[in-house]
Amino acid sequence: MNDERTRFANVVLPHLGDAYALARWLARNDSDAEDIVQEACLRAFRGIAGFGDVNARAWLLSIVRNTAFTWLKKHRDPRLVAVENIELVEAAAPEQDGGPFAGPSSPEASLIERADAARLEAAIGALPEEFRETLVLRDLQGLDYRAIAEVTGVPIGTVMSRLARARRRLMAQLGKDTE
């Protein structure tokens, strides 16, 4: 067995579960997620010589998200896939979530905390891709801000604003009583 295969088994395979989980959140479909992971693993294998032994998990996840976005653009209606600069679009549109100054009287923490798992999962699924990706990497995969910035290729400030916007949308939605 050659060195690259050994390295692949060592660096990539232990994180296959995380790669699959992220692909599922991005694609929202199991069989697409499998295709994305397979293609990402092939890309990782071809690029294994360039991997610098720093953070294998973050490295693989960045390949998965890049593969996912390319894949989704190719296989799905491009209008459904994230626009390049979602921050600009968001900034132009009025805040849909009541904004940060919603105040203590609005969405109650206890209502959010008791939110039904299925409802929460659907709400996460409905987030714009960039927001969803950032939230999933932080809250479901436990990456720190620096690693998320590396994986998604944006500055830490952008990670922070995406995370804040993602969470605000979820909090606004879950904080509403289900009639």
Partner 1 sequence: MTQADDPFLLVHAYCDGELDPANALAFERRMAADPRLAAERDRIVALKRAMTRLKPAALPPAALRSRVEQAVGLRRRAGRPTWSALAASVGLAVILSTAATWSVLAPGRAGLVEDEVLGSHIRALMGAQPFDIASSDRHTVKPWFNGRIVQSPRVVDLAAEGFPLVGGRIDVIARIPVPSLVYRYQKHLISVTATQGLGAPPRGRAADGYHLIGWTDGGVSYWAVSDVGVHELEKFVQLFRNAPTDG
Choose the stretch contacting partner 1; rule: CB under 8 A; options: 65-73, 74-82, 90-98, 164-172. 164-172
The two structure tokens encoding residue 22: 């992220």
Among 71, 82, 138, 151, contact with partner 1 (rule: CB under 8 A): 138
φ, ψ of residue 7 to 5 degrees: the values are: -65, -40
Report the C-alpha gap between 86 and 49 in whole angstroms: 34
Contacts of 178 (CB under 8 A, 6+ apart): 119
- With vertex at residue 78, the alpha carbon angle to CA 160 and CA 154, rounded to the nearest 5 degrees, is 20
Using rule CB under 8 A, residue 52 touches partner 1: no
Using rule CB under 8 A, residue 154 touches partner 1: no
The two structure tokens encoding residue 175: 């904080």
Q: Summarize as ranges the residues that interact with partner 1 (CB under 8 A).
A: 1, 5-11, 13-21, 24, 30, 34, 37-38, 41-42, 45, 53, 55-58, 60, 100-101, 103-104, 107, 109-110, 112-115, 117, 120-121, 138-145, 147, 157, 160-161, 163-164, 167, 170-171, 174-175
